[in-house]
Amino acid sequence: MQKLRHYLSLIKFSHTIFALPFALIGYYLAIKDVEIFSNTSKIKMFFLVVLCMIFARSAAMAFNRYIDRKIDAKNPRTASREIPAGIIPEQKALYFVLINCVLFIATTFCINAICFYLSPIAIFTILFYSYTKRFTSLCHFVLGIGLSLAPIGAYLAVTGVFSLLPILFSFTVFTWVAGFDIMYALQDEEFDKSEDLFSIPSQLGITKALKLSTVVHCITAALIVSIGFYSNLNYSYWIGAAIFIGLLIYQHLIVKPNDLSRINLAFGTTNGIASLVFAFFTILSIYFTK
């Protein structure tokens, strides 16, 4: 049990709430479009989609911790993480990554051909992020791309085809994640500079990075509003949209250039609540919109 807790901590399992709710939105959009699905098939596909999310995210997060182990050991903020602290051996962490990659691909094989064929691309995308801060300050946007695969991936799992609405939700995730990751990186601005690592805060400074994060989240809000008009979802969607946008505004109000003490509140708690609430009202709207 203690080892399980260590591995759950390694991958920050609680942060699964960022992208998983959007995957469920993609799943329920697809279920509505493919009405021939039996209840048994729906339940099976639901669990397969959730498993894909868990395996993909576990692989990505553990790989990030493995690749960054030497950097994390130098950073006082991250030195206590499982690998640099010696709680989880490097080799076992790498085995954990490989196992989750295999399980992800195996799960896509059980879904449909297109998901299986695209699975190596998905794995490459989410693992590649871990290298990006070594050569580009756009690393935050690469992370956004990785998590944005959730809605369209879930939709593909059910339908086997692409559609505009889940793609719009994917763009929403892309900008949302990139915006809050820029904010999260503010706390490592000086460390990143000292280690020649790339991030938007280390390149632009805290004030300009916060402004860019705000601009990116304004795009997120615009996408959410656009989805509401395009999809003709009922009032439930707009309740979720209003709460989500309100929480975006809130996190930018509590994080200031001269006060970064509430970054964790903005990054983890606020965004986690925003994702869950938005997904709940969106799925509710999907169910009751004709």
pLDDT tens track, the chain, 290 positions: 777 787 877 877 666 778 899 999 999 999 988 766 677 788 899 999 999 999 999 999 999 999 999 999 999 999 999 999 999 999 999 999 999 999 999 999 999 999 999 999 999 999 999 999 999 999 999 999 999 999 999 999 999 999 999 999 999 999 999 999 999 999 999 999 999 999 999 999 999 999 999 999 999 999 999 999 999 899 999 999 999 999 999 999 999 999 999 998 888 889 999 999 999 999 999 988 76
Determine the pLDDT at residue 120. Answer: 97
Determine the pLDDT at residue 264. Answer: 87
Determine the pLDDT at residue 287. Answer: 84
Determine the pLDDT at residue 290. Answer: 62
Mapped onto helix, strand or coil, the DSSP state of residue 152 is: helix
Residues 31, 37 contacting (CB under 8 angstroms) = yes
CA 269, CA 152: separation in Å to the nearest integer? 25
Determine the pLDDT at residue 13. Answer: 67
- Cα–Cα distances in Å, from 102 out to 50, 121, 147, 148? 16, 13, 19, 21
Q: What share of the chain is helix, strand, coil (3-state, %, to 5)?
A: 80, 0, 20
Domains identified in the chain, total number: 1
Q: What is the CATH number of the domain that holds 46?
A: 1.10.357.140
Determine the pLDDT at residue 56. Answer: 95
Determine the pLDDT at residue 68. Answer: 96
CA 249, CA 262: separation in Å to the nearest integer? 14
Question: What's phi and psi for 183, nearest 5 deg?
Answer: -65, -45
Q: What six digits make up the tokens of 79?
A: 């030195």
Distance of CA 236 to the CA centre of its chain: 24
pTM over 0.85: yes
Q: What six digits make up the tokens of 262?
A: 């509430």
Could you tell me the residue range of the domain that residue 89 belongs to?
Answer: 2-288
Determine the pLDDT at residue 14. Answer: 67
- 250-268 pLDDT, tens digit per residue, is 999 999 999 999 998 888 8
